């Protein structure tokens, strides 16, 4: 920890994420998994989060502050390290939900790039989601995003 971290905000590399930050962080990784975040992907992420009970009492400022912090962590740590941190602190009851919503974001544009396939594979393993369950979720999201 540096001398000025309390004033300017330190690199919170060792600080664990809250449940909400973990969930949002996983979705952030999903939209960033192909190397860029489009306006449509960012909008989709915000829409998903806005519908969740986990974020129901959040102000716009609180949400923006969290997302700025998460984006900074993603940039500093890289996708794999940040994803590991987010999945490590996500409670069991939100693992399938996070995977389903991440799939929804990846599949929303109708094109799944190799980096996105790799991301979904890593996410499934990191969240310890059964392969059959993961396939069912992906198939439902394909149907949902068809047309």
Phi-psi region of 120 (alpha: psi -120 to 50; beta: other; left: phi over 0): alpha
Instruction: For residue 95, count other CB atoms closer than 10 A to its CB.
Output: 20
**Where are any strands of DSSP class E within 1-147?**
none
| Residue 138 scores a pLDDT above 90 | yes
Residue 112 tokens read as: 């799944």
Full-prediction pTM beyond 0.95? no
Position 146 scores a pLDDT of: 86
| Residue 9 scores a pLDDT above 60 | no
Q: How far is CA 122 from CA 49, 62, 82, 99, 117, in A?
A: 22, 29, 12, 11, 9
**Tens digit of pLDDT for each residue in 104-128?**
999 988 888 999 999 999 999 999 9
Q: Which of 125, 98, 94, 110 is nearest to 29 (CA)?
A: 98
**Tens digit of pLDDT for each residue in 24-76?**
999 999 999 999 888 889 999 999 999 999 999 999 999 999 999 999 999 99
Domain residue ranges of the chain, discontinuous segments joined by +: 17-144
Which listed CATH number (1.10.3680, 1.10.1200, 3.30.1490, 3.10.20) goes with 17-144? 1.10.3680
CA atoms within 13 A on the CB side of 96: 10
């Amino acid at each position: 920890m540096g001398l000025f971290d309390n004033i300017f905000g330190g690199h919170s590399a060792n600080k664990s994420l809250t449940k909400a930050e973990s969930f949002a962080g996983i979705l952030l990784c999903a939209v960033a998994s192909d190397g860029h975040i489009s306006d449509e992907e960012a909008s989709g992420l915000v829409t998903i989060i806005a519908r969740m009970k986990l974020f129901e009492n959040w102000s716009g400022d609180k949400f923006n502050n969290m997302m700025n912090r998460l984006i900074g962590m993603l940039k500093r740590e890289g996708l794999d390290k940040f994803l590991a941190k987010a999945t490590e602190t996500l409670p069991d009851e939100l693992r399938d939900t996070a995977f389903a919503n991440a799939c929804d974001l990846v599949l929303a544009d109708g094109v799944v790039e190799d980096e996105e396939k790799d991301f979904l594979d890593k996410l499934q393993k990191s969240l310890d989601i059964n392969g059959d369950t993961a396939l069912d979720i992906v198939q439902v999201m394909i149907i949902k995003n068809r047309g």
